[in-house]
Structure formats: C-alpha cells, structure tokens
Structure 1
C-alpha cells in the first residue's frame, strides 16, 4: 500500500481525505490497537478516536516522515494513553474473542489443529507484557524493521533488540508449557 500522496493531501475536501485515509489504513490501525488492548470492542472505539484525532490534526502533518508513520505514532500514543487511564485500570471489559481471519485448510482435521495452534500463539503473544507484545507485533505481524519500530515507539534500536529477544524467550517458554 502506497503512502498518502501529496496530491491527496492537497485535495480541498478534508472529508474526502479522511475517507481515503480510513480506507487505506483502517484495518491495520484496528489490528495495531487490538495488539495493545486485547479487546475487539475497545479496539474499535479507540480506532474511531484515532481517526478523529487524525482529522483534527491533519494540518500538523509536515511530511517529514511517511504519513503511515505519523498516523501509527498517533495510534500508539493513543493506545498508551488509554492503558494509563483510569478507565483502563478500573473498568473490566466483557469477554472478547480474538480477532481472526482464518481460512480452512485441506481437511477439517488440519483446520482444527491449525486453529488451535493459532489461538495458542495469539494467546501467548497477548499475554506478554506490553513492551514485549508491542515489539513482537510490530516486527513479526506488521513486518516493520528495527529502525521503523524505533521511530514509532521512540526508543533506541538496542532497546528494541533487547525487548525482541526477551519477548521471543518468553514466548518460547509459554508455548512449551
């Protein structure tokens, strides 16, 4: 997916721009947010809030970084703010089933086994501490480089590498249990 083009940002109708941004980035922002909050309903609400913030602050985008990076930075900061909020710490959400896009394999037996393994992996990733879950999600699921992750979450490359190494170790331990 291409980054938001200069021509797009120069459109006169801001509503058209926001519609295009939501079409291009909506699903991946929702997945990113879910990786932080581990609840589909809350992820959907926060994603809406993120696009409202984007709408209100689009004039501040200065094109020094890719638009996607700018938008993801908004999303990550919004998620972290939510996780620090009173609401997040004191309100217990209802049970949520994991977000999946599952396609059956050749046989029913293989499909059941694959689904079970996928659920174990998702469960193990989502049980990691936020700092570890964040880098695992961005590196493996979004396939971002260490440098891109550094830009997004604002920590040094060596810190990202350390968190990634610890996260892999924790995942291995949890999956072997």
Structure 2
C-alpha cells in the first residue's frame, strides 16, 4: 500500500470510517498473527496480541498521532504487544500448531513436499525452543523483516545486543538442527 493511500485512509478513519480502518489493517493481520504466534507459541495468546495491537492502532489514529508509514509502525506495535503478552504469561505452555504458520511449499514431487514440510516444522520448533529474548529478535528480523536498528529501538536495546542475540540464536538453531539431522544416522549405526 502506498503512503498516499495510507494517509487518506487514516484521515477517513479520523472522520469516522470503520471501512477505511478495515482496508488499512486487513492486509497486515495475517502476517501480524504469524509473527505473534511465532513469538508466543500459542494461538489464543497470539490472537490477544493482535487484538491489542489493533485496538492500540485505532486509538492512536483517533488521538491524532502522526504515523508516517503505517505498515512498519504496525509491525512494531505487534512486536510490543506480543512481548507484553509473553511477559504477562511467563508460565504458559507452548501449544504451537505448526499448521497455522502457513508454510508455503512449491515442491515438484510429493516426497520433496513432505521433506520440505518436515524441515520447516523442525526449524519452527527449534525457533520456539529459544529463550524469549532470542526468539523475539529472530522473529522480528526474519518474520517481520525489521532492521537491526528498528529492533534495537523497539526493544530499547543497543544494536550490539540485538546482533549478539541474533548471533547466539543462530548458533543454537544451527546446533539443534545439525544434531537433529545426525540423530537418525546415529540410531542406524547402533543397530
């Protein structure tokens, strides 16, 4: 969506148009939900985070807040609400349904399709096993495609801290995925 259309929609929303708000946020909701789900690992909590982000967005628009690039701003709001929810629900159990993350697959054969889906599921499970601080920066960097500077600003961290968390998260993911690949071979050798 171009910036001029965003500005017109925001003005229409301030004028009372609920349809303009739907037009503005509908293209962003699926990605926002997937990002919140990847951070939180729970559908109900992800839905809560998205709902809170939508309420906050509407309130900010109606209060006259200047929002220059709504899509980027909304991504940051989603990340904040997901992290707030995670902090509030520290002891929740992960109940991630990998099917909800909409893993797109364009494989040529059913076997290739099955293998790619299995690899994607292992990757997502590995990301979900990371500590919240690392999982959050991984999701923001790879799922929401935020820049290091944006993540640092969003989380109130130094850029070096964000880079460090990404580095250690990648190491953990690499080790976990590498060890998962070796496990079947090790079992075969023991037989």
Q: Same fold (TM over 0.5)?
A: yes
Paired residues of 1:146 and 1:160 also in contact (CA < 8 A): yes
Equivalent position of 2:130 in the other structure = 128
2:183 is equivalent to residue 175 of structure 1: no
Paired residues of 1:135 and 1:149 also in contact (CA < 8 A): yes
| C-alpha distance in 2 between matches for 1:167 and 1:92 | 21
Paired residues of 2:39 and 2:139 also in contact (CA < 8 A): no
Distance change (3 Å), C-alpha of 1:134 and 1:84: closer
Distance change (3 Å), C-alpha of 1:60 and 1:152: farther
Query: How many residues were matched structurally?
Result: 173
Equivalent position of 1:36 in the other structure = 39
Residue 124 of structure 1 and its aligned partner are, at CA, apart by: 0.5
Q: Which has the higher helix share?
A: 2
- The equivalent position to 1:18 in structure 2, one of 18, 21, 31, is 21
Equivalent position of 1:149 in the other structure = 151
Equivalent position of 2:85 in the other structure = 82
**Residue-by-residue CA offset, 1:49-82 (whole Å, 9 max, x unaligned):** 221222222225223x532333233222222221
| C-alpha distance in 2 between matches for 1:68 and 1:28 | 11
- If the length of structure 2 is used for normalisation, what is the TM-score? 0.79
**Residue-by-residue CA offset, 1:19-49 (whole Å, 9 max, x unaligned):** 1232131112112211211122321232122
Equivalent position of 1:6 in the other structure = 7
Return 5+ residue gaps in structure 2 as ranges. Answer: 180-191
- Greater radius of gyration (CA): 2
Distance change (3 Å), C-alpha of 1:144 and 1:168: same
Paired residues of 2:149 and 2:159 also in contact (CA < 8 A): yes
| C-alpha distance in 2 between matches for 1:140 and 1:171 | 13
CA RMSD of aligned residues (A): 2.2
Instruction: Report 1:154-165 matches (<5 A).
Output: 154-165=156-167
